[in-house]
Structure formats: C-alpha cells, structure tokens
Structure 1
C-alpha cells in the first residue's frame, strides 16, 4: 500500500484547499444558513474539481473531501461525486455516461443519494417508482437522485418539472440542504443495463464508495475541529499559563489526534484498494466505523477544549460538532456498522 498522493492528486488537493479557505469563511457559512453556497459550488466545478475525480480516483476524492471537511463548506461535493460521477462512470451504460457525466462534471447536474436501500421504495405497477424516503442529504440542491430500492436495484430519478418526485425541506443536525423525497410513479431509469438495474454488485460498490467518501469528509471535519482547539488552547491563558501546557489538555488533544489519524488512514486504505481493483467492502466498513465512533469523540473534544466558548452555538467549532454528529448518524452509528462488518466477515468465503 502506498497512500502518497500522485502529483495530480496533490495539486488538486492544494487547489481545493485554497478555494475552501477563500470562500468557506465563518461569515459566509453563517449567511448560508441551512442552504448550500452556490458561488462556492461554481468555483469548485469551474476549477475542474468535480470533473477531475474521474481521473483522481476514490483516493483523490477522499483527499479533496478532507479539505471540504476542514472548513465544513456547504456544497454537495461528496454526494454528487459518490452517487453521481463515480456511480455513473462505473455502472452506467455508455449512453448514460455520455449523457450525464458532462453535466455532473460541470456542476449543472447534481446527484443526491437515497442510500442505503429503501425498504418502502418499489417499482410501481404502471411504471416508475413509488415510496417515501424521509431524509436525503443535499436533496434540495439536486437535479437527480440515485435511489436504491428494496431489491437493492439502482434507479436515477430526475427531480422537478412535476415528474412525480416531490421534495420537501427537512432539517438535519448539520446544514446539509436535506429533503424528504416522495415518489408517486415517478419516472426513473435503471442505472446500468437491464435486467436488475445496477445489480447487487453495483449497489454494494456505490454504498462502499459513499461510506469511504463520507469517512474522508469526517477526517477533515475532525481535523478542523482539533486544529481550532489547538489554536485556542495555545492562546487562552489560565493562571498565567496557556491551557495547552496543562497535561490533561495535552492528553485529551493527543487522543483526538490519534482518532483523526485512524479515520484518515482507514479511509485512505479503502479508497486505495478500490482504485487498485482490490476487494474493499470490509475496508469501507472499517473506515465508516472509525469515522462514526471516533468522529463523535473528536468533535466532542474540540468543543470541550474550547471551554465556555465551545458552548456558544455561533462559534465556528460548533459547526464542526454538528457535522461530526451528523456524519456519525449518516454512516450508521458505530454499533450498527460494527454489526454489519462482523456479519460480512462471518459470511465471507
């Protein structure tokens, strides 16, 4: 294994870091509320940072999402790349790739994901899809949503224009522009060739890609939270000494640093294995477990080390706390992911 970024991956990461630093400021994030920053999204797509993911691979995407997480930038980057660009590139037909990928790459097509498989979603008798998905992150930004039905088949559903897919605004812990999706014989196209659109292999791959991508996002969220805590404890004095000189503070920060590194390296490993064409389902679950279980510890630490300031919901570190807890829930919570990982290992050939 070699997680050293290629020259192209490193250049893309540095470019993304600069864009996020310039545009995902505390003031702009406060102004965005629960919506996404369209100017930032245009800057990212205009710089080719969505289109580049096709060449940079999943490891490249993880590196880019780390940079997003450091600033908690409100754009549908992870969703549109995992459920859109990489899913269509890997499992779409040639016609779907030619029709959809250019729009996804330039940002005019944004794909959200109704994942994991939705038990209440099924093909309707007269065609299309019927069912309800209570929460879909970034749905309010999306032009399409990739839906996994009860049979783990993949369907692309266009949104808007009265096509039978309704979107209602939903609030989450983090401001992820989420929505409730209601399908009433909504037009839908299978992702990939029939029969069995996508097939179980496609579903498993897209789910593992999403878990790895969002674990990379969590690595950045946690690194950003810890960086804020380190800066605060180095400048905040108590009894004439910086808080960072206190052993209890050092130990708490050291534990958080190790958790961040565990999230990062497990996400890197899962992504690297997928790019190398190696089995990676258990590795994606391992990354998701660390991102969920350790992630919530880190963002609690970041808030705690800020003392009273950490209790202020307007403080920048609180946004990392909200994102970290939302990612914990979105990835399935540590105990759920660990159970799935155990079952997968137990039933492995």
Structure 2
C-alpha cells in the first residue's frame, strides 16, 4: 500500500494512502494525549507500559503489516515528535517486518499475531560489528548495548557471519544499561544460548537497511518536535519589545533546521518507498541514516539553543528531543562512518555493474 510513482516518469509521490493517513492520525492522537511531559517524567529511564498497551490495542503495530515501511516511518515521526518511551520502532522493525519478510510460514504464524498484540516485543542487536559466534544453533558473545532490551521478550541478533538469530531474553543474561536517551536499554550476554535462525542469505542486509530507514524516520519526528517547540518559544518570548522570532538571526537558524529536518524526512521516505516497491534501497537507507546523523545533530542543538537559558534546563521538554537526537546519532553510527560505508557500497555496486557490462560485451 505504498504511495505510487507519478505517471509518465520516475518521480515518486510520497502522498500517504488512506490507510497510512488513518494510521498516522490515530498515532498522533494517542502519542499527543498519552505521551505528556508529566508521564515522561514519571517513566524515568524506562518505558510507558500503558502507552504501549494502548498502541497495540489500537492496532497500530499490526497496521504496519499493511502500510509497509513507509507507513511505519510516518508513525515513527509521530512518536519522535513527543519522544514517547515505547519500543515501537524496535518491535516493528526487528519483529513484525523482519519476520514478515524473512520468517518461515511456521514462524510467521507463531510470532506475528503476538508481535501485533504486544505480548511479544522484539528488539535488535544489529548495528556495528558482531562479536557473537554460533555453534550448532547456540550463541556466545556479548552485545554491550541493546536499546529496549529491558522491555523485550526476544532480541534479533546477528552473528559474526551476518546471519540472523532470534533469541528469547529469558534464555540470556540481560543487565540494565543507561543511555543518553531513556531507551530502557541493556547489556546482552549469551553463553551457549539457543537461537532460532531467521531468514537466509541477504536477510541481515535487508533488516539492517530497514532499521536505518525506520530510525531515520524517528529522527525526523524528533527534529520536527524540537523545532516546533523552538518556534513556539521564540514567538512567545519577547526581547526589547519584539518577539525573538522577529530577529533575522533566529529566523535563519530556524530555517536551516527546517531544511535539515526536511532532508531527513524525504530521504527516509524515499528509502522506505523503494523497499515497499521491491526496489534496491541499501544506498538510499544509508543516505537517510547519514542525514539523520549529521543533520539531526544540528537540529536538536538548534532547538535547544533557540530556547536560550531555558534550553539549559534538563527538565525542560526540549531537552528530551536533544537527548533523543544525540542518541539516534550515536545509534546509527556517526556521519563519517555512515558516509564511508555508503561510499564503499556505491563503489562495490559500480564494480559489479562494470563486470556485468563486460561479460555482456564479451558474449556479444
């Protein structure tokens, strides 16, 4: 149900479908009503279980199966605007979408209904090199930081040969870890822990690209929320008889932040659209991740700076956007690392294309 290309060309139309619009609007209402500053403060560094139940009961996790990755990106924007503390991105990416795309019929029948209703929560340990090794279906190794691990019933782990395994957290050792953002994270220790293989060749690359795209969408929402707060503050705050927003320096800073946010959003949309359309999207996912890292860093700093002294208050709502933006930057890899991987992938694809052309010319 992804948006369709415009007729007569290769341009893409990112206008959401009716299903995607309905899901996004419902998510916006739930996040706005239930992810309030008071509830966020009460949750501390953990998640909000009542909000998670509400999202699942409303069918928003299940809806991702119909609305695709682009639909998920739209929902994650709404989560990011409010910095709602629930494992929505993690369970949809590493659970619902990963099992749908790469699970066996038995795995889909067993796991998808439970992921959809929230009784099974899946998180992922995919970013960065893996120190996990597998022997006859048992996994050994340590993943120092896994976001939302304290909420998860399962974790999707990549071994050192880039194969995917579903592990029950009850079978592993999980200890709490505090991050920059309150993501209910933990340290995962595997010691001969049984794992369930998910997918075959190419599954790791696909799920990783899906995760990059989804978390870039989350960053777009975080940045949009930060900027919205800054705009509200600078319009209301007066200095020397004029709103701060009337000053050119403030306007230019906000305009740059708006353009950065739009760049994150449109690159995430394109990568998601391509996946839903069955097109190659690995380079597009990396592009979205780069914008989310580099531009996201700038935007959340801008949002805090435009609040002046209030932005230095760690209890101010804009500070949460700052923490989330910095955490997402770190989680997906710094901009330089992502850019290097993107360059290497483009070069490898170029070499492969050249070999194909050379082979075709030889046959001719």
The match for 2:75 is: 64
Distance change >3 Å, CA 105–CA 254, structure 1 → 2:
same
Q: 2:138 aligns with which of 125, 128, 131?
A: 128
Deviations 1:213-242 (A, max 9, x none): 000000000000000000000000001110
TM-score (norm 1): 0.96
In 1, Cα distance between equivalents of 2:14 and 2:187:
38
Q: Does 1:187 align with 2:194?
A: yes
The answer to whether the Cα contact below 8 Å between 1:117 and 1:150 also exists between their aligned partners in 2 is no
1:133-212 matches, within 5 Å, as: 133-160=143-170, 163=171, 165-192=172-199, 198-199=200-201, 201-212=202-213
Deviations 1:245-264 (A, max 9, x none): 00000000000000000000
Q: Structure 2: which 5+ runs fail to align?
A: 1-11, 353-364
Q: 1:119 aligns with which of 130, 153, 159?
A: 130
Displacement of 1:118 in angstroms is 4.4
- Partner of 1:347, secondary structure, is helix
Deviations 1:264-303 (A, max 9, x none): 0000000000000000000000000000000000000000
Q: Does 1:35 align with 2:46?
A: yes
The match for 1:53 is: 64
Q: Does 1:87 align with 2:98?
A: yes
1:1-349 matches, within 5 Å, as: 1-116=12-127, 118-124=129-135, 127-160=137-170, 163=171, 165-192=172-199, 198-199=200-201, 201-348=202-349, 349=352
Deviations 1:128-153 (A, max 9, x none): 10000000000000000000111000
In 2, Cα distance between equivalents of 1:117 and 1:302:
29
Count of aligned pairs between the two proteins? 339
In 2, Cα distance between equivalents of 1:102 and 1:119:
29
TM-score (norm 2): 0.92
In 1, Cα distance between equivalents of 2:169 and 2:331:
23
Deviations 1:285-339 (A, max 9, x none): 0000000000000000000000000000000000000000000000101100000
In 1, Cα distance between equivalents of 2:236 and 2:188:
46
In 2, Cα distance between equivalents of 1:325 and 1:144:
26
Stretches (4+) displaced over 3 A: none
In 1, Cα distance between equivalents of 2:107 and 2:23:
26
In 2, Cα distance between equivalents of 1:118 and 1:97:
28
- Partner of 2:62, secondary structure, is coil
Distance change >3 Å, CA 134–CA 320, structure 1 → 2:
same
The answer to whether the Cα contact below 8 Å between 1:63 and 1:216 also exists between their aligned partners in 2 is yes
The match for 2:7 is: none
Displacement of 1:159 in angstroms is 1.4
The alignment's C-alpha RMSD in Å is 0.8
Larger Rg: 2
- Partner of 1:145, secondary structure, is strand
The answer to whether the Cα contact below 8 Å between 2:173 and 2:189 also exists between their aligned partners in 1 is yes
Q: Structure 1: which 5+ runs fail to align?
A: 193-197
